[in-house]
Amino acid sequence: MTRPYVIDQMISAKTIAARVEDLASEIETAFAGTDKLIVVGLLRGSFVFIGDLVRELNLNVEVDFLEASSYGDGMESSREVRILKDLRGEIGGRDVLVVEDIVDTGFTLSHVVSLLKSREPRRLETIALLDKPSRREVEVKATWTGFEIPDEFVVGYGIDFAQRNRNLPFIGKVRFTD
């Protein structure tokens, strides 16, 4: 059972939509000429972001998913990254974009990038909706970032707290009321 909390809006749905459109334009330019871009969503938090992003991309895309966990139902990273679901397709020799919801300590993105690079893609880039550089413990930076945020626990737009609040259309800060 979680402590009582409220959610204060940090980033509106309209602001997110505009930024996703801008990011898609940058990605199209960067991957111009690719025959197909494999977009790898890191589950579960990125599912809303990846859906909106691929709809904005004017490229041939294939979508695949990888589920990695370093949080469980808690608010702090365990620093141990576990792969719960691997890719279905092959990425060797292909152009790959890894889509992450939030880069916090950096453990998950660093682990996933290392794992996927070992499979020898032609090109591998990363995008994160949110970045919390003040929490970084591992040297990693996404190629593209939607928003840099302060060290707040956030939910919404696919990001959860104990499997709740993923369906919020905005990014909100969790504020405990007790």
DSSP assignments along 134-168, one per residue: GG--S----SEEEEE--S--EEBTTB-BTTBSTT-
> What is the DSSP code (8-state) at residue 81?
-
Which mean pLDDT values do the consecutive 10-residue runs of the chain (178 residues) have? 89 98 98 97 95 98 91 57 90 98 93 96 98 95 97 96 94 94
Output the pLDDT for position 77.
Answer: 52
Show which residues are catalytic. 104
pLDDT at 2: 73
Whole-prediction pTM value? 0.92
In the 8-state DSSP scheme, what is residue 4?
P
For residue 139, give every residue at least 6 positions away whose Cβ sits within 8 Å of its Cβ, in sequence order, or none: 106, 110
Is 5 in contact with 164 (CB distance < 8 Å)? Answer: no
Would you call 92 helix, strand, or coil by DSSP?
coil
Residue 80 has a pLDDT of 76
CB-based contact 156:171 (threshold 8 Å): yes
Domains annotated for the chain, with CATH where assigned, are 14-71+79-149 (3.40.50.2020)
